[in-house]
Amino acid sequence: MGIKRFQNHPIIKEFNGLKKFFRQHETDISRRRIMDFKKFVDLIGSSGDNIAFDLMGSVNFGQAMENSDTDVVMYLHCDKGRIGDCDHENCSRLELYQNLLINSIAYEHLNKSYAIQVVDCINLTQLEYDIKIRNFDSLALVKFGFYRSICRGINRKLLHSFEERLQSDEELCNFIEKSLADCFLGLIHSSQHSYSFKKYIERVEDGGFRVPENMASKINSYLSY
């Protein structure tokens, strides 16, 4: 799944091509963390609610190690159908599910738990509203387009209907796509992004695989945008 028209943007396509290479050398730790989030989605589903995630960083690239943080974007419907940003001040579900997630991971792994960073939360009620009214000023739509183009989704079926409805509005997609390029250039030019690629290369090579020169060249070309 994902938003194909955004994934075909040259910069995003290049990013995803590099990500595909690193995932070919995925660590067992990355696979276990993906399973952790799938179990949590099932737990919330058993209560009659829905939640989804986009995984970023090392798990997205399949290069998580025991000491790696797990950076996530959370998707949920805020309290009582409220429209607006999903933040701790305005949405009690965010804090509830964040705490429940952290505690469930800690219980599952006991003394080998790992840090979870909820870097963003998107209110699905807001997202649905912005698509419906064709909100060209919606930050939620830009972030949704960005995350869904590059991240690793958990419970993607919950997000699929939003992707389909957004993709069906060509004018709105064209407008959002212009903002995505700016988001990506800001990401590429950050020192943290460059450092992450350096770490992933080291981890692959520590596992006994030499990164080919043509792939190293592609990474350098991407980071030079």
- Average pLDDT (112-128) is 94
**Based on the structure, what is the number of domains in the chain?**
1
The pLDDT value recorded for residue 198 is 95
Residues 6+ apart with CB under 8 A from 134: 169, 171, 172
**Domain range spanning residue 150?**
4-223
- Average pLDDT (26-41) is 97
The pLDDT value recorded for residue 108 is 86
Q: For residue 111, is pLDDT > 80? A: no
The pLDDT value recorded for residue 1 is 59
Q: For residue 99, is pLDDT > 90? A: yes
Instruction: State how far the Cα of 220 lies from the Cα of 80, in Å rounded to an integer.
Output: 47
Predicted structure pTM score:
0.93
- Average pLDDT (148-152) is 94
In the sheet that 70-76 helps form, which strands lie side by side, from edge to edge? Answer: 116-123, 70-76, 52-55, 152-154
